[in-house]
Amino acid sequence: MSRVALVTGGSRGIGAAISKALQDAGYTVAATYAGNDEAAQAFTGETGIKTYKWSVADYDACAAGIRQIEEELGPIAVLVNNAGITRDAMFHKMTPQQWKEVIDTNLTGVFNMTHPVWSGMRDRKFGRIINISSINGQKGQAGQANYSAAKAGDLGFTKALAQEGARAGITVNAICPGYIATEMVKAIDEKVLAERIIPQIPVGRLGEPEEIARTVVFLASDQAGFITGSTITANGGQYFA
């Protein structure tokens, strides 16, 4: 029986590439999303991967959704915490709401999704938790005090939980992507991309979602069992943590 992998925000962008790569690697994949039904339906139509709608910011919804997926597909062996949002503003203009939404989704959401799968992974003596953080959680970014704080928090969470999971066969790792060619980044004005963003990236291009996805597939594998508590930087040389 193939292992079950759950990818949050797995219907679009980097998450969609992760879901597809895990499916190609032989996993039974479930993808969650927040509200874009159209994209989720198109994704399921294209890939056959089941999609489930709830907010990672809601603990009870996470626990119920995970129960449903485990009943339908089997115990979750791999959890990829990929769902994330931005609510950018310079700090003097940032509202408590912008702060809260980003912390609730990008940091508390990782707790909310990991907590309900943790006991089962401990009982089965196997698990893989892979958290998608960000270069901006490592270096900080003006206009993203909320996002940088949440993504840095994900790295602390990763390191602490790696220590707790080690003897139970559970690895916990983080990936910090730099600029990746998702719809969001490709929507940036071409001139801004060419003159201001690409020159900051030593390899001279944006990353591809599939490059993050391949890293996830490796971390999920049995071969990566000695790697835990790591932060893998995937940013084309833009920043060395």
| Binder among 155, 180, 219, 232 for ligand NAP (CB under 6 A) | 180
Q: Quickly list H helices, 105-223.
A: 109-124, 135-139, 145-165, 183-186, 190-192, 209-220
* Interaction pattern, residues 185-214, with ligand NAP; x per rule: CB under 6 A: x-----------------------------
Q: Which of 27, 33, 147, 179 is catalytic?
A: 147
Question: Residue 44 carries which side chain, given as an amino acid letter?
Answer: T
Placement of tokens 């203009």 in the chain: 93
State the nearest-atom distance from the C-beta of 26 to ligand NAP, in Å: 23
Give SS3 for 206: coil
* Residue with Cβ nearer ligand NAP (15 or 126): 15
Q: Binding to ligand NAP by residue 132, rule CB under 6 A? A: yes
> Residue from 64, 166, 184, 203 that binds ligand NAP (CB under 6 A)?
184
CA distance 51 to 12: 11
Tell me the residue type at 61. Answer: A
Measured over the CA atoms of residue 115, residue 119, residue 122 and residue 127, the dihedral's sign is: negative
Cα–Cα distance between 49 and 11 in angstroms, integer?
9
Active site residue 147: yes
> From residue 88 to residue 107, what is the string marking binding to ligand NAP with x (rule CB under 6 A)?
-----------------x--
Among 4, 5, 6, 8, binds ligand NAP (CB under 6 A): 8
Burial class (CB in 10 A: 0-12, 13-18, 19+), 38: exposed
- Find out whether 69 and 30 touch, Cβ atoms under 8 Å: yes
Among 21, 22, 30, 34, binds ligand NAP (CB under 6 A): 34
Backbone torsions φ then ψ of 217, nearest 5 degrees: -60, -40
Count the residues of the shown chain that bind ligand NAP, applying the rule CB under 6 A.
30
Q: Which is nearer to ligand NAP, 8 or 228 (CB)?
A: 8
Residues that bind ligand NAP (CB under 6 A): 8-9, 11-15, 32-36, 39, 55-57, 82-85, 105, 132, 134, 177, 179-180, 182-185
Instruction: Show which residues are catalytic.
Output: 147
